Amino acid sequence: MIALFRVFAVAIFAIVMFVFGCGYCLLSPRNPKHVFTFGRLFGKMARVFGIKLELRMPEDAYTRGQHVYIANHQNNWDLFTVAAAVTPKVVTVGKKSLAFLPLFGQLYWLTGNILIDRGNRSKAMGTIDQVIDKMKNSDVSIWMFPEGTRSRGRGLLPFKTGAFHTAIGAGVDVVPIVCSSTEGVKLNRWNNGHVIVEMLPPVSTQGCKKEQVREVANVCREQMEQKLAELNEEVKVLNQSK
């Protein structure tokens, strides 16, 4: 019964977001401000799924300059958890196939996000170069999932290097964002407990060359893996004490 209610709620939410969201975005198509607006709206849906979402953001998170943001990518719940950590003037980079998802795909494109063909390495790298140019010629920041796919309970997967090529090429720091595990979240469970999303301090790319891409990626991954373990332990204690 609970699951049916939530499926119905998501269906209504998706339709409303598509109809009114696309209409709103058409007033200023592909404006980066839309990503922040809709990221917050999707984050509020966490309550519908019985998730007690806690955001841990530094005081300057909404006023800082350009960065490349990276986050762990677990499953479809990211849409209602990690999305809440999107800050102003941030657009995400996702795979081209997202554009063909009913309702969500069209809204994803209209809000200004960037789509790349990950199946074609030369096209993907060409898009990365375009992203670097866009960052250099604007005040937009970029959000990427360096694992490249959902981990689905397999822990933090190996990182691809696109995000770090972008950061070094644009001369900006990398900001890791970590979401505690959502593998235990169930549609038919009324209370799905705590989920913590934390933004970590920036990892500097100052003075780094493209040959150091993997080194920067490894530093970020180590920090995120350690923080993920810490958050999972904290959430475990919080959920046991409820």
Give the per-residue pLDDT at 97.
82
Cα separation, 208 vs 215, in Å, equals 10
| Mean pLDDT calculated for residue range 162-179 | 96
Give the per-residue pLDDT at 182.
96
| Mean pLDDT calculated for residue range 138-152 | 92
Sheet-wide strand order for 90-95: 52-56, 194-199, 173-179, 67-71, 141-144, 90-95, 114-116
Binning pLDDT at 50, 70 and 90, where does residue 220 land? Answer: very high
**Which residues are within 8 A (CB) of 39 and not within 5 positions of it... i.e. 6 or more apart?**
83, 84, 85, 86
Identify residue 189 by its one-letter amino acid code. Answer: R
pLDDT, tens digit (0-9, with 9 covering 90-100), for 94-143:
878 888 888 788 888 899 898 877 666 666 667 788 889 989 999 999 99
SS3 130: helix
Binning pLDDT at 50, 70 and 90, where does residue 240 land? Answer: confident
For residue 57, give Cα distances in angstroms to 15, 87, 200, 222. 30, 10, 8, 20
Give the per-residue pLDDT at 100.
84
Cα separation, 152 vs 48, in Å, equals 22
pLDDT, tens digit (0-9, with 9 covering 90-100), for 13-70:
988 888 899 999 999 998 989 999 999 999 999 999 999 999 999 999 998 899 999 9
Give the per-residue pLDDT at 119.
62
Give the per-residue pLDDT at 120.
60
Buried/exposed 121-160: b ≥16 CB within 10 Å, e otherwise: eeebeebbeebbebbeeeebbbbbbbbeebbeeeebbebb
pLDDT, tens digit (0-9, with 9 covering 90-100), for 181-219:
999 999 899 999 999 999 999 999 999 998 999 999 999
Domains of the chain: 2-241 (3.40.1130)
**Which residues are within 8 A (CB) of 10 and not within 5 positions of it... i.e. 6 or more apart?**
45, 48
Q: Are 224 and 178 spatial neighbours (Cβ–Cβ below 8 Å)? A: yes
* pTM of the full structure: 0.92
